Amino acid sequence: MRSRWIWLFVIMFLLNGCQASYWVLEKDRIGEGSPDLEIYANYLQMHDDVKGYQVFTISEGKKMVVVSLDSSEKDKKLEVSGVKYSPKETVVTVKRKPVPKANEKNPYILIGLDKIEGDLIVQDETRDRFEETDYQQ
């Protein structure tokens, strides 16, 4: 009986380690992340030709990856398909979804990561990579 409890504890511990270590920050809560996030989001709307990603450090050393599409895709929104970690790289995959009414000049998503291991790769589901923007923080 005791060994069953030990195995149950081990399985629960392993499953806990498999939980996603990312989250999507709602845009109406952008001020909770960092003042720089709000400034960058406004920058994206003023410069609607910016396509790519930018990384910000937020509380407790966690990272926020902001991915933008540019105005040519203003009828789309982004969703996270997955985040995969390996010792050499962190791969963030996003997918485009149509929206009935465009409400942003430059659609973007705020993806929080507990950590970034190795190189950061941001890609869509067809493996087309987003480049890091030249925004100066």
Tell me the three state secondary structure of residue 137: coil
Q: With contact defined as beta carbons under 8 Å apart, do 134 and 47 qualify? A: no
> Could you give the CA distance from residue 26 to residue 57 in angstroms, rounded to a whole number?
17
pLDDT per position in the chain (137 positions), as tens?
Answer: 555 545 545 455 454 455 558 999 999 998 877 889 999 999 999 999 999 999 999 988 899 999 999 999 999 999 999 999 999 999 999 999 999 887 899 999 999 999 999 999 999 999 999 999 999 87
Vertex 51, ends 23 and 27: CA angle to 5°?
35
Length of the chain as a residue count = 137
